[in-house]
Amino acid sequence: MASLLLSQTATKTSIIFLCFFLCFSNVVVALTKQQELDRITALPGQPPVGFSQFSGYVTVNEDHGRALFYWLTQSATNPDKKPLVLWLNGGPGCSSVAYGASEEIGPFRINKTGSSLYLNKYSWNKVANILFLESPAGVGFSYTNTSSDLKDSGDNRTANDALNFLIRWMSRFPQYKYRDFYISGESYAGHYVPQLANKIFDYNKGLSQPIINLKGFIVGNAVTDSKYDNIGTVAFWWSHAMISDKTYKNILNSCNFTSDKFSKKCDDIVDYAMNHEFGDIDQYSIYTPTCKVAQNSTLIRVKNTLIHRRFSGYDPCTENYAEKYYNRPDVQKALHANTTGIPYKWTACSEVLIKNWKDSEFSILPTYRKLMAAGLRIWVFSGDTDSVVPVTATRFSLSHLNLKIKTQWYPWYSGGQVGGWTEVYDGLTFATVRGAGHEVPLFQPRRAFILFQSFLAGKELPRS
């Protein structure tokens, strides 16, 4: 009898184990062939993790051979129930792998030698599935077989290609169709993010059940309106003692911020300010040390937006670590990247794209008005030590939306300290992040994480 009971118990145990095995196997088998090809087993030097990763290419234009590179880091818990968030870096021409994934919101950080990775305690994939996209073609591992594409990129094509990417990517990953979807990014993604949201909104019109279930977007230190951004930027320089009273007055008197092109006199005054009055500072984070490795400075203008893109990074040198790591053949193989043999080195930013940007929308404010009327959740945040797209620029631009205040300006908190300040309007939430530079999650990772959590939850930032 005891032997029979033991046998029955063993049989039940075997059935339970078999059921568990088959259920687990179904999860694995449920991956399509292409998903399996895109699955990352592990990156070189990567610590063990409990979430899945995928990366690879999606062709967005067959005629020109344009293909965009993506990297998906699924949520660490319940990925099938968490929203999908697309992250875009700006430039225009800078990599979401170099910045967003590797020094801001991604699960890993790169060590100084570029030999291994370590975990980011405040990775955004703790609460969402994060999809990093290198966009447009020519950025990072994304490529085009038509060389002229590198010389005539612009806002409109970038948005169209990103929309095509999402449609085709969701065909590859149908489990994300109809999932709550958000777009996020920073800097020149202040153009990319609302413009892509606008394309999705128009694409979804007339569809009974849109596969791209866009719920909203969140952008940081975002290029918004050429006129108001520039006035606010010069005000930041003066109010933070970066330029003299004389230079401040000369810029205001000589620069026509309503024009698509600056005069030589305006150029000369701004060049003087940057080269003789700013000093050797990190313009993206004016109170932190600069990187002393390979400091190459280039002044670049995107239409009439003042941009000073320095091809070195944070830590203050983290960008250099990314360039070491992602140029390793074993890393590229693990990422399924550079499969066509791109004839140039992977770089954090493409100087060719930045210098040859063709169409740049003068103001994104009309797009904000349209998408607020559509009921999207929209948050805009600013690190308050950035002098490139500073908090004064964003506040001045948003003020011209003339929005009704729902919740008056108040300090929000993180870890018992003021994390920044916020005001909630009818249709939009604005927040500052105290002590953060241009890349908010790099300088204030905990505060940025709380900000992101609150955005996803649709809740106001904590008051205590």
Burial of 381 (0-12, 13-18, 19+ CB in 10 A): buried
Angle subtended by helix axes 245-254 and 226-239, to nearest 10: 170
Active-site annotation holds for 225: no
**Do the bridges between strand 84-88 and strand 180-186 make them parallel or antiparallel, or are there none, so unpaired?**
parallel
- 3-class secondary structure, 339: coil
Rounded CA-CA distance 398/380 in Å is 9
* Distance between start and end Cα atoms, the chain: 65
Radius of gyration in angstroms for the set of CA atoms belonging to the chain, rounded to a whole number: 23
Select from 429, 394, 400 the least CA-distant residue to 235. Answer: 394
| 29 CB neighbour count, 10 Å cutoff | 10
Could you tell me how far CA 274 lies from the centroid of its own chain? 27
* Beta partners for residue 94, in sequence order: 349
155: nearest Cα among 354, 363, 360: 360
Q: In the annotation, is 386 catalytic? A: yes
- Of 53, 9, 61, the C-alpha closest to 35 is 53
Closest listed residue to residue 444, CA positions, set 240, 452, 209, 202: 452
Selected catalytic residue, list 102, 135, 187, 397 = 187
Contacts of 382 (CB under 8 A, 6+ apart): 220, 221, 389, 390, 391, 394, 395, 430, 431, 432, 433, 440
Cis peptide before 136 (omega within 30 of 0): yes
Q: Could you tell me whether strands 305-310 and 66-73 are parallel, antiparallel, or unpaired per DSSP bridges?
A: unpaired
Q: Where are the alpha helices (DSSP H) in 316-358?
A: 318-326, 329-334, 351-355
For 16, other C-beta atoms within 10 Å of its C-beta total 10
Catalytic site includes residue 308: no
> 170-176: long-range contacts at Cβ-Cβ below 8 A with a sequence spacing of 24 or more?
170/211, 170/212, 172/32, 172/34, 172/35, 172/38, 172/58, 173/35, 173/54, 173/72, 175/80, 176/84, 176/129
State the residue for tokens 């866009």: 214
Could you say which of 161, 229, 384, 386 is catalytic?
386
Catalytic residues: 187, 386, 438
